[in-house]
Every structure is written in structure tokens, then in C-alpha cells.
Amino acid sequence: MTRLLRWGRSAYETDASLALEQRALSELGVVMLRHEGQAPELEGVEVLVVTSGVRVDEPLLQSARSLRLVVTTTSGHDHVDVGAARARDILVARCPRARADAVVDTSVGMGLALLRDLPDLHRQAVAGVWARGELPARASAIVRGMGVGIVGLGVIGSRAAKVWEALGAEVVVCDPARPATVSFEELVASSDLITLHCSLNESSRNLVDADVLAEMAEGSILINTARGACVDMEALMETTHLGGVALDVFPREPWPRLAELAARPRVLLTPHSAGYHRSLGMAVAGEVTQAVAAYLEGRPMEHMVLS
């Protein structure tokens, strides 16, 4: 029988969701072992399932002579050394669908809230100020006809594009893996709102840096629900011309200057919560099972990581 090690447990994974995963894998002829804490014994383990808290690096892969598949329960995969895995003919898969709708809901909700000035109007109300008289000066925007730039056209970015289009936005997309999309420079130049849905790699690290921020139009909006390191936070802290900033992820969590950033007008900050929903544990269990089933049957995995 195939031996699978489930290393780590996220806060959203319940006993019920893990039991469901174990039963489903058992029906596939897989023996599921569980481990939490420091590096486990990987001898004889063919499939490794990890959370974002586990770093799958070169030394770990060297110790796993039987390993043939790594599945991360997350959408992002920057905690897995994909190059080292591929060098050993080890496949890597991820689980983006479990979080896709929640991330899109959050990112679009953030954008709508900032367009309508909801965070600042709420702060005024908390302070006892009836700010109706300020509305003409605020000039809140609407989605229809505005330029929305989506960076990353994977499962989440593709869904986000459809939602923004349905709301009436003029959507442009940038994804180096999709030749038909525009360049990042073109996207920045044509967008009133930019929302990041890309993976973190060497080309996307600090993608939004001081130069890009300077090129963004006066009053434009930046949303990041992808990976914190995609935005140069020090440069962002120095930027004053944007019309709104919404961040769910940060290069370091918790971000040490969180309160300082939150005190600024037209800012929305959430604690890496965009992908969470009440059924997330069950959804992850199903996606892990689907990936393992495809591997065992020799079928292409839907969300295999290639680089």
C-alpha cells in the first residue's frame, strides 16, 4: 500500500475534516500517517502532504528516498523547493480551489469598500461624525468603466477577472505564463485598481516596488491577497498618492508597522484571512484526495506545480 505522511495541521483543519481525508485516502489504498512538530522519519513515504508551516527544502528531499509526490494544502507553494523536487523526479501539487471563492470574495470586497470610501466613512461614524456633507469632496468611484488590472491568471485570478467584468470593469490581465496577456508595465499604465493573484517567485518578489508605485495613477487602488513579499512594503509606506490600499498578506506576519499603516486613510488590512471560510478544512481534504487519486491512477494532476 502507498504510504502518505500528513505533516502539519492548520487551524482550520478539524478532526472531522482530517478523518474525512483519511477515509477517502484509505479507499484509494493509501495508508495515511500523521505528524506534527519537527522533521519526521520519511523512510518509505511515497506521498508527503504539508501545510505552509513546513519547509520542503533540499536537505529534507535528500532524506526522502521513496518520495514521489508532495502536495501542499495551500494555494501558494513558495515553501516548497520545486526545482529540487523536480531534479529528483518528485511531483509537486497544490490546492488552490479550496480557497479560490473566498479569496475572490475578499479581494473584490476590499476593492468595492475602498472605491466607496467605506473604511473612512465608518471611522467617521465611530468618532460620532455624520460625514454626509463630505461626500462631494470625497468623489467616491463606481466600478463600471474603471480599469482593473489583475496580476496572475490562475484559478483565483481567472475567477476574479470574471467577477470584475460582471460588475462592469474594463479588465486587463498580466501573467507571464499566458502569452496573450499584457505586460506588467501596460497593466500598471491602464489600471485604476490593481489586484495581485500571482504566486511568489523570483520574478514576482517585490513586483510592486518604488518605481511601480510611482507609475500608478493618482487615486488608484492596490490590493494584495497573494503573497506579502510581492509588494515592497517600505516603498509602500513612503507612497502617498494612492486612493486606497488593501492588504491581506505581508512579508512578515504580523507586520511590525501594522498600526501605523492602519491609521492612514483609505487603508484596509486583514490578518492573512482572505482564503478562510467555514468549510475550508473539508474543501482541502477533498482537493488533497483528488490530487493523490490522479497521481495513483497516472492521470495529470489538475494543479501540478511546474516551476
Residues 6+ apart with CB under 8 A from 180: none
φ, ψ (nearest 5 deg) of residue 110: -60, -45
Measured between alpha carbons, how far is 4 from 221 in angstroms, rounded to an integer? 44
Q: Starting at the edge strand that comes first in sequence, how are the strands of the sheet with 244-247 ordered?
A: 170-174, 147-151, 193-196, 221-224, 244-247, 267-269
Measured between alpha carbons, how far is 80 from 130 in angstroms, rounded to an integer? 50
144 is catalytic: no
Taking the CA atoms of residue 226, residue 229, residue 231 and residue 236 in that order, the dihedral angle to the nearest 10 degrees is 130
272 is catalytic: yes
99 with 73: CB under 8 angstroms? Answer: no
Give the amino acid at 260. Answer: E
- Alpha helix ranges (H) inside 46-117: 58-62, 82-87, 97-115
* Helix 155-166 with 97-115: angle, nearest 10 deg: 40
253 is catalytic: yes
Residues 6+ apart with CB under 8 A from 177: 153
142 with 255: CB under 8 angstroms? Answer: no
Measured between alpha carbons, how far is 209 from 106 in angstroms, rounded to an integer? 23
Give the amino acid at 170. Answer: E
Candidate list 68, 272, 277, 302, residue with the active-site label: 272
Candidate list 41, 238, 253, 260, residue with the active-site label: 253
Residue 255 grid coordinates: 507586520
Candidate list 35, 94, 197, 227, residue with the active-site label: 227
- Provide the 3-class DSSP secondary structure of residue 287: helix
Catalytic residues: 227, 253, 272
